[in-house]
Structure 1
Amino acid sequence: MISKDWCTLLKACYNQDVLVGLKKCLIRPLEDIGFLRTASGGRSMAGNESQLTDWISQLDSSDGEIRQSARHQLVQAGSDAVPALINALDHSSETMRWEAAKTLGEIRDPAAVEPLIEILADDDSVRFVAASALIGMSNDSVPAILRALITEPARFRDGGCFVLHHLASDDEKLREPLTPVVEALMSLDSSLLVPVESEKALSKLR
Structure 2
Amino acid sequence: MNNLDTNHIIEDMINTLNDRTWRTRRQASDKLIKIGKPAILPLMTAIRQHAFTTFTLPEAVRALGGIGDVQAVDLLIEELENQNVQVVQEAIKGLGLIGSPQAIQPLINVFRRNWDDIETITARQEAESALAAIGQPAFPSLLAMLTDEDDNVREGGASALAELYDPQAIDPLINALQDKKHLVRAHAADALAKLGNKRAIKPLIVLLADDSWYVRTRAIFALGQLGGSSVFASLTNTLEDQDPRIRSAAVSVLGQLQDTRIHDVLLKVLSDPDGNVRSDAVLAFARSGDTRALSALSWIQQNDPGYSGVNRIKDTATYAIQCIQERHLKN
- TM-score band by shorter chain is 0.5 to 0.7
Identity %: 22
State the partner residue of 1:134. 95
1:143 aligned residue (102, 116, 122): 102
C-alpha change, 1:164 and 1:58, in structure 2 (3 Å) is closer
Whole-Å separation in 1 of the counterparts to 2:46 and 2:147: 33
After TM superposition, list the pairs within 5 Å mapping 1:89-104 onto structure 2: 89=47, 90-104=50-64
> Could you give the per-residue CA deviations for residues 90-141 of structure 1, whole angstroms, max 9, x where no partner exists?
3340233211111122210110011000000111121111112112221x2x
C-alpha change, 1:181 and 1:92, in structure 2 (3 Å) is farther
Q: In the alignment, does 2:140 pair up with 1:177?
A: yes
1:79 aligned residue (12, 34, 37): 37
After TM superposition, list the pairs within 5 Å mapping 1:145-164 onto structure 2: 145-146=104-105, 158=113
Greater Rg over alpha carbons, structure: 2
Shift in Å at residue 55 of structure 1?
A: 0.7
> Could you give the per-residue CA deviations for residues 50-100 of structure 1, whole angstroms, max 9, x where no partner exists?
321111010111123322221222122211100121123333402332111
Whole-Å separation in 1 of the counterparts to 2:94 and 2:113: 16
Shift in Å at residue 176 of structure 1?
A: 3.0
After TM superposition, list the pairs within 5 Å mapping 1:1-206 onto structure 2: 45=3, 48-89=6-47, 90-124=50-84, 125-138=86-99, 140=100, 142-146=101-105, 158=113, 165-168=128-131, 173-174=136-137, 176-183=139-146, 186-187=149-150
Shift in Å at residue 156 of structure 1?
A: 9.3
Per the normalisation by structure 2, the TM-score is 0.36
Whole-Å separation in 1 of the counterparts to 2:5 and 2:147: 47
Whole-Å separation in 2 of the counterparts to 1:185 and 1:114: 25
Does the 8 Å CA contact 1:46/1:80 hold for their aligned counterparts?
no
RMSD: 3.5
Say how many residue pairs are matched: 141
Secondary structure of the corresponding residue to residue 94 of structure 1: coil
C-alpha change, 1:117 and 1:181, in structure 2 (3 Å) is farther
Gaps (5+ residues) in structure 2?
Answer: 115-122, 154-331
Q: RCO higher in 1 or 2 (8 Å CA, sep ≥ 6)?
A: 1
Shift in Å at residue 164 of structure 1?
A: 5.8
Per the normalisation by structure 1, the TM-score is 0.54
